């Protein structure tokens, strides 16, 4: 029974991880840019949810729209204004650039919100569902379901909408897409914006579950990395698989060597994968 | 020849810093030497070979802890520093064999994550490393001024050695091979370059002086903890310095380190809470306005008038 | 003993058989042509011989020793060199430095001075010595092809595989290239040349190997090849080859 509980915990966590990572994976897969700011985007989304609840009484599950929207605008502007100029530049350039931008963003958040951890305490907490001997915290369950719904929605957008097809085309071959009349620069900005949107939305969902602080941004970034390498770049399904896999692995890892090593487990897994199978579980090679 | 002479004069001048008797300047000089060594070391794998390594923090932290642990067992400071360099070198060779077949982003992440893993190991292995509570080093029984001078000269020595290594690599077979690898790795293989051997050698060399610098740093500050010596900034700052000065050149890292340290001091003194943000701004400005570094800018200004328009020439 | 032997060499990518049980020998001093329609597997064969790709099956012998599975740089040092269809220079270095690289690492020149000497020799051979200080990226296509040739010569190879050296050249440049290749062969280098231009292949080669869909379908003198039913079928379709066979039978 214990193992089923651990598995459930892992799956619920994994669903959230997938939502954290899917935007990061899309940006990496389509623009070939690793966005170091992604973790800070998630944290910013959390803060928006926090303040929306504290000052406006908006439930974090609803402020997904707020966080998502705000981060989309930020992401789009950043990409169109700055990052677009270095798309295609060597890895070092884009990595160092987004690192620098993250320093700015993170420092700004530290100054504005201080490093103190905050949590959203609901007036009517969800409590837990008890099924057989299994404890299912409802905030996590709902978080995971919503995360899954969001991810599925993104998948639909990519597969069905014109914009979505354009993004997929650019991911496969940006030159060919340009020849087909796709405005690649705009698609890049759009994709980056969507990546930021998903990060912000994930942040909203997470605000109920994890404590919020600018310091946490590196944890989220680390999770996004590992999920991407586990599941493969630029694919929604990959992020889902990678996220669930990571959640489950971490859950069982916590059982054997303690919960404080969660991130270490993730990173060791990452290195092992990179050394032996960079294409991850799904076996699809992304950009290098 | 004149360039070598002017560099030697420059080193001699810097070595005279203690004469000024200002401890603050001496501390600054020590930091400059340390970062110059880090930047020069990174230049070998990042500048010459073009592999975006973020492993500097891993080597630095490893060196710091190796040095501290060795000193804790009674070994003399100087032997500890040398030992730290060797350990870092060996570690880099092994790590290199594992991850240097990766390219681009994958290599960058792998090298970045290694430091994080080492950080966790250091935090958990309390019996050896003191865990999150850090490690204390034996205090030296000499005056503050003498200590400042000692560590200044120690770091300066490492920096000069790193500079010498850069010069040797740049003018020798290893540098030639690494430059070929950066420009076209497949063609390099085809013309007989054992790319794995040269990459791993370059990577290992890029760790030696970083490890020693880490050990000297530990002795200098008497107390180290994981978050301090494995900080990702220790990986990023040398990269920024090399980009600032000019990647793949011998003097670029030194120039970049100097400019960076000066700017950082000014910012630190006046904008403490904006420290990270200003570094971020510096990076953004660097990427957009000085993409080839300071040396690149200067070189373009010197040659813009004299170079013939070679694009029109038909060379057969 | 033949210089280079391919024994039952195959190479597949997923389900695609790029090379299918190819047997081939090359004797010292030959100029062998390697022809076939697009996608026949010619470049794959070169990649397998030079170590850029591992064969999925079969063996490759060079001077009697098995080289299948060796790394490209080892094979380069043993004396097998190749040029690329799409030239692969070191773009930021000068022409001289480009050629010094193989001189240093494949031909094992003792020091930089010796490497420079060998490099200049190779450059003089291809008449590119005047451009020694030019940055490789600034050469014209013909110049880059010569650079590619000089680089492979600087390796002091025993076997030279030329992959469509004439692509993109005008007819005067092609004649120049032909003269160079003959000079190379006269100097004792065994040459295997992949080529689409029949005029080049027919005049230059003593023997021609024909690949089609990864398999060897013919191996003989230019005269034999030009009448081979399978070869004509591969290039022009079986209508023409069958027709030819009938017409030839009718003449007998």
Mind listing the pLDDT tens digit for each residue in A219-239? 899 899 889 888 887 778 888
Contact in structure between B167 and B183 (CB atoms under 8 Å) = no
> Among all residues of chain B, which has the CA nearest to that of C161?
B190
Band (pLDDT 50/70/90 cuts) for residue A281 is low
Question: HSE (CB half, 13 Å, CA atoms) of C162?
Answer: 32
Query: Count of B–C CB contacts within 8 Å?
Result: 87
- Chains touching A by CB (3 or more pairs below 8 Å): B
Token pair 């993104």 is found at: A154
Band (pLDDT 50/70/90 cuts) for residue B82 is very high
Lowest mean pLDDT among A140-149, A277-286, B257-266, B279-288: A277-286
Cβ within 8 Å, pair A104-B276: yes
Give the pLDDT confidence score for residue A167 in this predicted structure.
85
pLDDT exceeds cutoff 50 at B308: no
Pairing status of strand C215-220 against strand C207-212: antiparallel
Tell me the nearest-neighbour CA distance from B47 into chain C, angstroms: 14
Any C CB within 8 A of B303 CB: no
> Among all residues of chain B, which has the CA nearest to that of C139?
B315
Cβ within 8 Å, pair A100-B102: no
CA–CA gap between residue C151 and residue C158 (Å, rounded)? 14
Residue B16, exposed/middle/buried by CB under 10 A (0-12, 13-18, 19+)?
exposed
The DSSP line for chain C is --SEEEEEEEEEETTEEEEEEEEEEE-TT-EEEEE-STTSSHHHHHHHHHTSS--SEEEEEETTEE-TT--HHHHHHHTEEE--SS----TTSBHHHHHHHHHHHTS--SSHHHHHHHHHHHHHHTT-GGGTTSBGGGS-HHHHHHHHHHHHHHT--SEEEEE-TTTT--HHHHHHHHHHHHHHHHTT-EEEEE-S-HHHHHHH-SEEEEEETTEEEEEE-HHHHHH-HHHHHHHH-HHHHHHHHHHHHHH-
Give the pLDDT confidence score for residue B213 in this predicted structure.
97
- Residue B224: helix, strand or coil by DSSP? strand
Residue among C92, C101, C155 whose CB faces B176 most closely? C101
pLDDT exceeds cutoff 50 at A286: no
Cβ within 8 Å, pair A278-B106: yes
Tell me the nearest-neighbour CA distance from B188 into chain C, angstroms: 8
CA–CA gap between residue C65 and residue C46 (Å, rounded)? 18
Give the pLDDT confidence score for residue A57 in this predicted structure.
84
Chain C residues with at least one Cβ partner in B under 8 Å = 50-52, 71-74, 76-77, 81-82, 84, 88-93, 97, 100-102, 104-107, 127-128, 130-131, 134-135, 138-140, 142-143, 146, 151, 155
Contact in structure between B38 and B56 (CB atoms under 8 Å) = yes
pLDDT < 70 stretches in chain C: 237-252
* C69 phi/psi in degrees, rounded to 5: 90, -5
CA–CA gap between residue B147 and residue C227 (Å, rounded)? 89
Lowest mean pLDDT among A44-53, A94-103, A161-170: A161-170
> Which of C104, C119, C172 has the highest number of chain B CBs within 10 A, making it the mutation to test binding with B?
C104
> Among all residues of chain A, which has the CA nearest to that of B283?
A100
Tell me the nearest-neighbour CA distance from A142 into chain B, angstroms: 32
From residue A147, give the alpha-carbon distance in Å to each of A51, A205, B66, B155.
Answer: 21, 8, 45, 51
Give the pLDDT confidence score for residue C241 in this predicted structure.
61
pLDDT exceeds cutoff 70 at B36: yes
Contact in structure between C169 and C200 (CB atoms under 8 Å) = no
Give the pLDDT confidence score for residue A284 in this predicted structure.
54
CA neighbor of C39 nearest in space, from C251, C219, C214, C238: C214
Q: How far is CA B88 from the centre of its chain?
A: 13
| pTM (whole model) above 0.90 | no
Q: Which of B18-22, B121-125, B195-199 has the highest mean pLDDT?
A: B195-199
Give the pLDDT confidence score for residue B310 in this predicted structure.
38
Domains of chain C in start order, with CATH, are 1-19+26-79+157-227 (3.40.50.300), 87-155 (no CATH)
Fill in the DSSP letter of residue A212. Answer: B
Contact in structure between A111 and A220 (CB atoms under 8 Å) = no
Q: Would you tell me how many other CB atoms lie within 10 Å of the CB of residue B264?
A: 18
Give the pLDDT confidence score for residue A154 in this predicted structure.
87
Q: What is the rounded average pLDDT of the residues B36-64?
A: 95
Give the pLDDT confidence score for residue B30 in this predicted structure.
94
Cβ within 8 Å, pair B192-C88: no
From residue B133, give the alpha-carbon distance in Å to each of B59, B128, B225.
Answer: 21, 12, 7
CA angle B278, B279, B284 (to 5 degrees): 95
Fill in the DSSP letter of residue B22. Answer: -
Give pLDDT tens digits for C55-105. 999 999 999 899 988 999 999 999 999 998 888 899 999 999 999 999 999
Give the pLDDT confidence score for residue B239 in this predicted structure.
93
CATH topology of domain B2-303: ABC transporter involved in vitamin B12 uptake, BtuC (1.10.3470)
Band (pLDDT 50/70/90 cuts) for residue B303 is low
Fill in the DSSP letter of residue B179. Answer: H
Cβ within 8 Å, pair C140-B314: yes
Chain A residues with at least one Cβ partner in B under 8 Å = 28, 32, 34, 82, 85-86, 90-93, 95-97, 99-108, 110-111, 218, 222, 225, 229, 261, 263-264, 267-268, 270-271, 274-275, 278, 287-288
Cβ within 8 Å, pair C90-B180: yes
Q: What is the rounded average pLDDT of the residues B28-55?
A: 95
B-chain residues within 8 Å CB-CB of A28? Answer: 105
**Domain boundaries, given as residue ranges, for chain B:** 2-303
Give the pLDDT confidence score for residue C250 in this predicted structure.
59
Give pLDDT tens digits for C216-236. 988 988 888 888 888 887 777
Give the pLDDT confidence score for residue B146 in this predicted structure.
87
Q: Which of A7-16, A70-79, B30-39 has the highest mean pLDDT?
A: B30-39
Helix axis angle for A138-160 and A184-206, nearest 10°, is 170
Contact in structure between A204 and A46 (CB atoms under 8 Å) = yes
Any C CB within 8 A of B222 CB: no
Give pLDDT tens digits for B139-191. 888 888 888 899 999 999 999 999 999 999 999 999 999 999 999 999 999 99
Q: Would you tell me how many other CB atoms lie within 10 Å of the CB of residue B131?
A: 15
The residues near B34 (Cβ < 8 Å, ≥ 6 apart) are: B155, B158, B159, B213, B216, B217
Write out the E strands in B177-289. Answer: 223-224
B-chain residues within 8 Å CB-CB of A34? Answer: 105, 108-109
The two most distant CA atoms of chain A are separated, in Å, by: 59
Query: Count of A–B CB contacts within 8 Å?
Result: 116
B-chain residues within 8 Å CB-CB of A111? Answer: 273-274
Cβ within 8 Å, pair B284-A288: no
pLDDT exceeds cutoff 60 at B316: no
Cβ within 8 Å, pair A104-B277: yes
Residue among A34, A104, A261 whose CB faces B281 most closely? A104
A-chain residues within 8 Å CB-CB of B103? Answer: 288
Cβ within 8 Å, pair C92-B183: yes
Give the pLDDT confidence score for residue B57 in this predicted structure.
96
Cβ within 8 Å, pair B114-A271: yes
Band (pLDDT 50/70/90 cuts) for residue B305 is very low
Residue among B103, B240, B277 whose CB faces A96 most closely? B240
The DSSP line for A122-165 is -SS---EEEETTEEEEHHHHHHHHHHHHHHHHHHHHHHHSHHHH
Chain B residues with at least one Cβ partner in A under 8 Å = 46, 50, 52, 98-99, 102-106, 108-110, 113-114, 116-117, 120, 124, 232, 236, 239-240, 243, 273-277, 279-284, 286-288, 291
Paired strand residues for C161: C82, C192
Give pLDDT tens digits for A146-202. 888 888 888 888 888 888 888 888 888 878 888 888 888 888 999 999 999 999 999
A-chain residues within 8 Å CB-CB of B109? Answer: 34, 225, 229, 270, 274
Give pLDDT tens digits for B193-243. 999 999 999 999 999 999 999 999 999 999 999 999 999 999 999 999 999
Cβ within 8 Å, pair B311-C100: no
């Amino acid at each position: 029974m214990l193992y089923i509980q651990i598995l459930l915990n892992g799956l619920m966590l994994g669903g959230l991880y997938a939502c954290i990572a899917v935007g990061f994976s899309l940006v990496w897969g389509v623009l070939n840019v690793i966005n170091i700011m992604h973790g800070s985007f998630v944290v910013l989304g959390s803060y928006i949810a926090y303040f929306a609840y504290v000052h406006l009484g908006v439930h974090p599950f609803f402020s997904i729209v707020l966080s998502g929207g705000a981060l989309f605008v930020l992401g789009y502007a950043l990409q169109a204004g700055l990052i677009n100029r270095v798309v295609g530049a060597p890895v070092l350039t884009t990595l160092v650039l987004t690192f620098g931008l993250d320093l700015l963003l993170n420092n700004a958040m530290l100054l504005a919100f201080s490093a103190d951890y905050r949590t959203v305490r609901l007036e009517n907490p969800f409590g837990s569902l008890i099924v057989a001997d299994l404890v299912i915290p409802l905030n996590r369950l709902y978080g995971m379901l919503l995360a899954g719904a969001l991810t599925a929605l993104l998948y639909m957008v990519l597969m069905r909408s014109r914009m979505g097809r354009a993004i997929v085309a650019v991911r496969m071959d940006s030159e060919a897409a340009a020849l087909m009349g796709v405005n690649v620069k705009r698609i890049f900005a759009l994709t980056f914006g969507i990546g930021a949107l998903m990060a912000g939305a994930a942040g909203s969902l997470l605000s109920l579950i994890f404590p919020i602080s600018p310091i946490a941004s590196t944890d989220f970034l680390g999770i996004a990395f590992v999920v991407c390498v586990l599941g493969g770049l630029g694919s929604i399904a990959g992020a889902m698989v990678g996220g669930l896999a990571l959640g489950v692995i971490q859950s069982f890892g916590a059982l054997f060597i303690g919960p404080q090593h969660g991130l270490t487990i993730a990173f060791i897994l990452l290195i092992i994968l990179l050394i032996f199978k960079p294409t991850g579980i799904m076996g699809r090679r992304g950009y290098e | 020849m004149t360039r070598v002479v002017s560099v030697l004069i420059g080193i001699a001048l810097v070595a005279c810093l203690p004469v000024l008797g200002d401890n603050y300047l001496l501390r600054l000089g020590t930091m400059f030497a340390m970062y110059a060594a880090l930047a020069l070391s990174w230049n070998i794998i990042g500048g010459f070979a073009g592999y975006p390594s973020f492993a500097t923090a891993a080597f630095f932290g490893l060196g710091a802890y190796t040095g501290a642990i060795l000193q804790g067992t009674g070994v003399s400071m100087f032997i500890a520093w040398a030992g730290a360099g060797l350990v870092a070198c060996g570690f880099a060779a092994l790590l290199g064999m594992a991850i240097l077949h990766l390219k681009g982003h994958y290599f960058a992440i792998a090298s970045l994550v290694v430091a994080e893993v080492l950080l966790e190991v250091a935090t958990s292995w309390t019996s050896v490393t003191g865990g999150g509570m850090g490690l204390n080093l034996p205090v030296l029984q000499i005056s503050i001024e003498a200590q400042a001078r000692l560590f200044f000269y120690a770091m300066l020595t490492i920096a000069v050695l790193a500079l010498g290594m850069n010069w040797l690599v740049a003018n020798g077979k290893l540098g030639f091979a690494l430059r070929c690898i950066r420009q076209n790795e497949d063609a390099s293989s085809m013309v007989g370059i054992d790319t794995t051997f040269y990459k791993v050698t370059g990577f290992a060399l890029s760790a030696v002086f970083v490890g020693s610098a880490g050990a000297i740093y530990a002795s200098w500050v008497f107390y180290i903890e994981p978050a301090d010596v494995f900080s990702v900034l220790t990986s990023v700052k040398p990269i920024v310095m090399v980009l600032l000065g000019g990647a793949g050149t011998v003097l670029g890292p030194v120039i970049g380190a100097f400019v960076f340290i000066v700017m950082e001091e000014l910012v630190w003194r006046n904008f403490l809470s904006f420290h990270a943000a200003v570094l971020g701004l510096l990076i953004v400005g660097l990427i957009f306005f000085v993409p080839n570094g300071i040396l690149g800018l200067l070189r373009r200004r010197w040659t813009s008038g004299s170079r013939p328009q070679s694009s029109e020439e038909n060379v057969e | 003993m033949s210089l280079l032997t391919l024994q039952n060499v195959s190479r597949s990518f997923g389900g695609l058989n790029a090379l299918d049980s190819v047997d081939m020998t090359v004797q010292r001093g030959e100029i062998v042509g390697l022809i076939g329609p697009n996608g026949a597997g010619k470049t794959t064969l070169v990649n397998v011989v030079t170590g850029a790709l591992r064969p999925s099956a079969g063996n490759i012998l060079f001077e009697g020793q098995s080289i299948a599975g060796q790394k490209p740089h080892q094979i380069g040092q043993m004396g097998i060199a190749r040029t690329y269809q799409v030239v692969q220079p070191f773009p930021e270095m000068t022409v001289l430095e480009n050629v010094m690289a193989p001189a240093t690492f494949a031909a094992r020149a003792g020091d930089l001075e010796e490497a420079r000497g060998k490099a200049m020799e190779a450059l003089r051979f291809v008449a590119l010595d005047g451009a020694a200080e030019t940055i490789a990226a600034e050469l014209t296509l013909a110049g880059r092809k010569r650079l590619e040739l000089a680089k492979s010569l600087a390796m002091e190879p025993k076997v030279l595989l030329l992959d469509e050296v004439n692509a993109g050249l005008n007819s005067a440049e092609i004649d120049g290239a032909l003269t160079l290749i003959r000079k190379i062969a006269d100097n004792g280098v065994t040459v295997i040349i992949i080529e689409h231009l029949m005029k080049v292949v027919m005049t230059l080669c003593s023997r021609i190997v024909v690949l089609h869909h990864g398999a060897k379908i013919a191996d003989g003198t230019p005269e034999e090849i030009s009448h081979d039913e399978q070869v004509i079928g591969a290039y022009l379709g079986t209508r023409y080859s069958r027709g030819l066979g009938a017409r030839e039978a009718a003449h007998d």
